Chain A
Amino acid sequence: MNYNDYEGVMGLEVHAHLLTESKIFCGCSTKFGGEPNSHTCPTCMGLPGALPVLNKKVVDFAIKLGLALHCTINRKSIFARKNYYYPDLPKAYQISQYEEPICSNGYLDIFMNGEKKRIRVLRVHMEEDAGKLVHESTIEASTYSLVDYNRSSVPLLEIVSEPDLSTPEEAVLYLKALRDVLVYLEICDGNMEEGSFRCDANVSVKRKSDTKLGTRTEMKNLNSFRSVEKSLAYEITRQIDLVKQGGTVIQETRLFNVDEGITYSMRGKEEAHDYRYFPDPDLLPLIVDDQWIEEIREGLPELPMAKMERFMTDHGLPRYDAEILVSDKELADYFEETVRLCKEPKTASNWIMTELLRELKNGNISPKDSPLSPAHLAELLSLIKDGTINIKIGKEIFPELYERGISPKELVKEKGLVQISDETAIVAMIDAILAKCPREVEEFRAGKDKLLGFFVGQVMKEARGKANPKLLNELLMGRLKGSG
C-alpha cells in the first residue's frame, strides 16, 4: 500500500460572525473592541431572570446565505440549548439550533483546475458566540482568568459541509468560495485573523476503493487558509501512516499548532461532553413564511459564481481573469465600471490585474478606496487605444497617475508625452539611427533578424519613448528592407 491508495475525506464546520448592529438575543452592540464588558446587559451576561429575544436581522442573514447556498429554507426551525460549563459561557448553555436548523441541504460549487466540483452543504444554523477569557500573560502562566462578555451573544452562522472534500486544496477552495459568498452578501467581513470567519475540520482517511468512511478526528484552531491547508495535509498523512502501520484512528479533537505545523490530541478535555441539547423554552419555534423568503430573495446581490460566469460570457474574459476579479467584490465592481466607460474588457482586466493590483497591494488599499478611479483608468485606456500615448508610456506613468489621482489626459499634456505618430518625423529619426550604425544594418540585411529590436530601441530612445510603436515597426522594416 502506498499513499496513493488512500484519500482524505473532509467536512468543514465554519463559523461566520454576522455584521449585525446588535447581538442575536439582546440590543447590545456587536462592535469589536471596546472596554471589557461594556457591550453587555442582563441577557448577554446571563443574569438571573434575563430572557433572550431573537434579532430578526440574524434571520434575514441566515435566509440570505441559505438561498445563496441553494438550501431548503425551513419554514419552522427550533432554537436549542447546548449545555456545558465554561466561564466564558455566562448561562452555562449556548443557544444554538440542533435538530431543526433554519437551512438545510444546499451546495457550493468550487473549481479545481477549471473543473467544477459540487460540495454539499448539510446545514446552516444560527447561534450565539461565547465571551472571551483574558489572561495577563499566557493561560498557563496566569494564576487567574478575567472574562470579557462583549463577544457573548454576538450572532454566528454555522455552515456545515458534507464530507465531500478530498484534498486540503479543495478544502481551501471551498473555504475561499464560502467566504466570497458571505462577503458578497455583506453579512460577514470574512476576517479570519480577527476570528470573524473560523473553521473546524473533520478529517478521516480511507482506501480509495472503500466506500465506508474511516474514523474522523476534529481539528480546531484553524485561523488562516494556510493553517487549514497545512493542518489538513499533516492530519491526512498522520492518519494514513497510522492505518498503514495497522493502527486505528481515535475519534478525538485535535489542536493545530501553527508554529510546529503539527496537530495535537486534546484528549480528555472535550471528549466526554454530553451537551444535553433540548429546545430552548424561552424562544418560540421560528416560523418563516414565503413572503419573508421572497423579500430576501429579491434583495440578493449577484453572487461570485454567477458574476464569474457573466464576466466570461458577456465580457469574453478567460476563467483565470474572471476568478481573480470576482474574488473581491470591490475589484469586480471596479472592473465593471471601467468597462462601462471604455468598452475594452480584456484590456481593462489586464491593467487591473497587473498595474492596479500591484499598487493596491503595495499600499494595502481596498479597490473602492483606490486613488485612481475607474473613470481615470478608462481614460488612460482610451488614450492608448486612440494612439495618443503608447502602452509603454502608459505603464510608466501609471504609478504617478495612481499616486496623484489626476486625469491621465492632464498628466500626458503636462509631461508632453503625446505619442509621435508623424511619419516624417519618425522616418527622420530612423534614418539618423541607421546612418549611425552601418555595421548593424549590414548584419541585419545579412539575416540577423533579432537586431530589429536593437533598432527599435535606439529609435525609441531618440523619441524619448513617445514614438508610436506600431508605426515605428512598419517604417523601420520599410527602411531596412527597402532602400539600399
Chain B
Amino acid sequence: MERILDLNIVEVRKLLKKGEISSVDLTRFYLERIKKYDGAIQSYLRTTEEVAMAMAEDADGRIRAGEDGPLLGIPFGIKDIFCAKGMETTCASQILKGFIAPYDATVIQRLKERHFVHLGRVNMDEFAMGSSTENSSFQTTKNPWDLTRIPGGSSGGSAAAVAGGLCAASLGTDTGGSIRQPAGLCGVVGMKPTYGRVSRYGLIAFASSLDQIGPITRNVTDCATVLGAIAGYDPMDSTSIPQPVPDYLALLGRDIKGMKIGVAKEYFVEGIEPDVKKAVADSIALFEKHGAIVVDITLPHTEYAVSTYYIICTAEASSNLARYDGVKYGLRVDGKDIIDMYKKTRMKGFGQEVKRRIILGTYVLSSGYYDAYYGQAGKVRTLIRRDFEEAFTRCDIIVTPVSPTTAFTIGEKAEDPLQMYLSDIFTIPVNLAGLPGMSVPCGFDRAGLPIGLQIIGQPLDEARMLQAAFVLESEKKVKTIPDSFKG
C-alpha cells in the first residue's frame, strides 16, 4: 500500500476500479497512518472512523456495481470549518465546541454525491484567523518537514495532513492566503479559486467578501481533480458565479509555449529569504526554458494591501462572528442578565486573536470612523483590483513567491501579530482582487524546508494556472512527503 502515496488520485482510482485495492483498504491505510504519525503532527482534531468506514464500504459496493467517478472511494481530511450534517464542526474554537451541524455545506454535499470518504476533521487557526495554526484553541499542528516549525495557516491542518500522507486530499479555505501559505510551507499544492467559483454555503464565514474554498493536494493533477468536483454555480450562494466548470485536467501536460508570465517588482522586496528568491527565479527560468515569455509588470498598490485587508476582513468578521452569542448553539456561559451572558460567553469562547480582530473590525465600522477606514479600504481595494486588471492586459499569469520565508518555528511570531500578518503579504492582494491563486512546490531552502511558488491567474482561468503548475511539477519533481513519514 505504501506506493499509494506516490500515486495521484486518477491513478488510485484506476486501482480501485480494477479491484486491486478497495476503498476500505485505502481508508484503513490512512486511518492507520493517522494513528501512527498524527501524534507527532497533530493535524487531525477528530477522526470519524465509523463514518469513514461506512462511506468506504458504500463506495466499494458502488465500485463493484460498476459505478465510476473521479473521487469515488477517495479519503479526505476536511478542515473543521465546513458544516457536515451530524458532525461536530468547531472552527477550532471553544465557542463552537460541541456544535453538531444540522446540514451539509455545498462542498461537502458535492463530495458526498461523488462518494468520497470523510476521514475526519483537520486543525486550523480559530475561525481561520492566523497563519500558523497556533491560534487553534485545541492544538498546534506541526510541519511534517520539521516538527519544531509551524505548518502555516489557517489551513495548516489540511496542508500538514496532506504532506504527512494522512489523507489523499483536503479542503481548505483561503481569506488572505490560508490555503496557499500552508501549502507552500508544507510543500504541497494548494489552490484558492476565483472568488465565486466554489460555493461558500455551509463554510463558516470569517470574511465573506474574501473567503474562498479550495483543494490542498499532493500534486497538480489531484488539485485539478478536486477543484473540478467542488466548483460550480450554487443557487444557495448569491456570490457564486453562474459559469460552467471546465475540465481542469484537460490542459495538464500541454506545453506553455508563448504563455506570458508576469513578474512584478513589488513582490521581490527586502525581507524575502535568498533561498526563496532563488527558487522562484529558477522557476521563472524554467518556464522560460519551456517557451514562456517573461513580462515585467507593476502592481503599484501592493504596499497598501495588508492594511486594506486587515480593515476589510476584521470589519466583516466582527459582524459574521456576532452570532456566537450563547443564545442558539455552542458555548453558553450564564450571566446575571442577557448582556452579561453575551459578555461572559464571548469572553470565554473566543481566543485572543479572534477577539483582537472583532475589536478592530468593530472599531473600523463605528460611526465617525467608517469613512476613514472601511470606506477608504474599499477604494484601495478597487485600486488593487485595477492593478491586476492592468497587468493582465500584458500577461496570462503572474508568478510570485507564496511567502517571504519558509516555515518559521513554533512561537516565533506568536507574540507579534504584525509580523504574523506580514507573512501573508504576497497572498493577500489576490483575495482583495478576487482572483485565483495557487501554490505549487518549487524547491527547498538550505534547511530542507519547502518553498512554494504562487501562480496568480485571471478570473476563472484556473485551468491555465494548473497547466503552468503541471509543467513546473513535471520538471522539478519536488517530493511532497518527507522521508520520515514514509513507510
**Which A residues are closer than 8 A to B by beta carbons?**
42, 45-54, 81, 83, 85, 87, 90-93, 147, 274, 276-278, 281-284
Contacts and interface: CB of A to CB of B under 8 A. Distances in A.
A42 B328 contact: no
A54 B238 contact: yes
Q: Binding site of B, secondary structure by majority: helix, strand, loop or mixed? A: loop
A51 B328 contact: no
A42 B319 contact: no
B160 to A, nearest CB: 24
A132 to B, nearest CB: 14
B235 A53 contact: yes
A52 B204 CA distance: 13
Contact of B366 (A42, A51, A274, A284): A274
Interface in B93-146: 96, 99, 101-103, 105
Nearest to B91: A48
Nearest to B327: A87
19 contacts: A42-B83, A42-B202, A46-B323, A46-B328, A47-B101, A47-B103, A47-B329, A48-B323, A50-B201, A51-B201, A53-B238, A87-B338, A91-B322, A93-B322, A276-B318, A276-B366, A277-B365, A278-B365, A282-B238
Contacts of A274: 366-367
B102 A47 contact: yes
Give the dominant DSSP class at A's interface. Answer: loop
A278 B342 contact: no
A282 B239 contact: yes
Contact of A42 (B103, B325, B339): B103
Given A51-B236, A85-B342, A276-B366, 4 more contacts: A48-B83, A93-B319, A276-B367, A284-B238
A283 B316 CA distance: 13
Chain B interface size band reads: 35 or more
Given A93-B319, A278-B374, A53 B236 contact: yes
B370 interface: yes
B8 interface: no
Contacts of A276: 318-319, 362, 365-367, 370
B363 to A, nearest CB: 10
B99 A48 contact: yes
A128 to B, nearest CB: 14
Contacts of B200: 49, 51
A49 B201 contact: yes
B37 interface: no
A90 B328 contact: yes
B282 interface: no
Q: What are the nearest 9 A-B pairs in CB distance?
A: A92-B322, A281-B209, A276-B365, A281-B208, A49-B202, A48-B204, A49-B83, A49-B204, A87-B327
Nearest to B240: A51
Contact of B316 (A50, A87, A281): A281
Nearest to B235: A53
From B99, B103, B235, B319, residue with most partner A Cβ within 10 Å: B319
A83 B102 contact: no
Nearest to A86: B338
Contacts of A90: 323, 327-328
Contacts of A282: 205, 208, 238-239
Contacts of A45: 328
A83 to B, nearest CB: 5
B203 interface: yes
B105 A49 contact: yes
A278 B78 CA distance: 32
A54 B329 CA distance: 25
B82 interface: yes
Given A48-B99, A49-B201, A284 B319 contact: no
Contacts of A46: 323, 328
Residue from B83, B203, B236, B329 with most neighbouring chain A CB atoms (10 Å): B236
Contacts of B237: 51, 53
Given A274-B367, A278-B315, A50 B202 contact: yes
Contact of B322 (A42, A85, A278): A85
A49 B82 contact: yes
Contacts of A52: 238
A282 B200 CA distance: 9
A25 B91 CA distance: 25
